[in-house]
Amino acid sequence: MTNTANANSPLLETLEIGDLKLKNRMIMAPLTRNRAGDGNVPQDINKLYYTQRATAGLIISEASQISPYAQGYPSTPGIHSTSQVAGWQAITKSVHNQGGLMFIQLWHVGRISHPSLLPNNAQPVAPSAIQPKGEAVTYDGMQAFVTPHALTTDEIQDIIADYVSAAKNANAAGFDGIEIHAANGYLIDEFLRDGSNTRTDDYGGSLENRMRLLDEVITAVKEVWPPSRIGVRLSPENQFNDIRDSQPQTTFTAVVGMLNKHDLAYLHVLEGDMLGSERKVDYAELRKSFTGFYMANNGYTKTTAEESLNSGNADMIAFGQLFLANPDLVERFAQNSDLNEPDQSTFYGGDEKGYTDYPALQQDKISA
């Protein structure tokens, strides 16, 4: 059923970020779907999935590992091999042919991995040798996380080099920009938060030191991409993956202050806790402290998204499950139409079911 059109929604306004013009402020959030092919290579089904959603103002790809040692889940795509670059090239070309824009999210999972997922059964790495609670998702089912190897300073430099290589590959693959994943308990987030970083060297202890890895990664990839094509994702109080910080408001206000000097395309913030704990961070204050474009994420509806834009608390809204289940979410919002319900049983792994078969309002579906 289609109700009265709502073409005046702030979600449908354009936004210019550097030399990129977003056709609306509805962003497709990065969504891990575990459907990469052999060698963690993006495949045709992934191309169709993203092409169907090219009406988003910007697509942020699912998190993609920067090296074979950065992987934490089965069948997640990488951006470190020639075949992976070729797989992504087909996707970005198809999205561009539909008038879309696409950034890739660069990912190192840190300790949220398992030796069985890594070359030569390598140990996962982290700022400190602290075993996270919980279990890793492996090809052989759920297995307990292991105690990670605490990175040496030389090894940290190798990982920064991996980010640069991945950034170059992202350029070759035809992406419009990159997003550095510094959220949700993965490697960079592990350095930022004092619950997982107990180092006593230049990468631990003080806030300045805990921010150093993120700062150095951004500085390094700015040699490949202009800052107006680089975004960063943070999650100040998300406890997913057994991550926490004793003073998240203080910590992430400092992180935002550091990010300001880089003149980034945007700051992408997962607001609150995916596990449902009460919010303790004032995100409006965090937004005010950031001098660039702010992208809000986590459970937004059309109504709450419009309220956030109208109040100035965000410049863009990232939608996850809503885009997952509604490839034409932009049109549905514009027409105030009913939404498809996401099928959680098909979120991770599988085939086209719950991936490319969600119906559109117009049944002449896009073919990539």
Q: Of the residues 186, 266, 294, 300, which is catalytic?
A: 186
Report the DSSP beta bridge partners of residue 342. none
SS3 of 219-255: the string is HHHCCCCCHHHEEEEECCCCCCCCCCCCCHHHHHHHH
For 27, 49, 56, 167, the CA distances from 22, given in Å and listed in that order, are: 9, 20, 8, 22
Q: What is the pLDDT of residues 117-157, one digit of tens each?
A: 999 999 999 999 999 999 999 999 999 999 999 999 999 99
22, 51, 58 from 99: Cα distances, Å: 10, 10, 10
The label of the residue with tokens 């009265």 reads 4
DSSP secondary structure string for all residues of 251-287 = HHHHHHHHHHTT--SEEEEE-S-TT-PPP-S-HHHHH
pLDDT in tens, 181-201: 999 999 999 999 999 999 999
Query: Would you kindly state where each structural domain of the chain is located, as residue ranges?
Result: 10-346
- pLDDT attached to residue 37: 98
186 a catalytic residue? yes
- Token pair listed for 211: 């921010």
pLDDT at 4: 44
Question: What's the CATH class of domain 10-346?
Answer: alpha beta
d(C-alpha 78, C-alpha 334), whole Å: 34
What pLDDT score was predicted for residue 277?
A: 87
**CA–CA gap between residue 162 and residue 153 (Å, rounded):** 14
**For residue 126, which of 108, 140, 144, 138 has the smallest C-alpha distance?**
108
Q: Provide the pLDDT for residue 362.
A: 79
In tens, the pLDDT along 197-230 reads: 999 999 999 999 999 999 999 999 999 999 999 9
Residue owning tokens 């696409």? 102
The mean pLDDT values, 10 residues at a time, for the chain of 368 residues are: 61 98 98 98 98 98 98 98 98 98 98 98 98 97 97 98 99 98 98 98 98 98 98 96 97 98 98 90 97 97 98 98 98 96 97 97 62
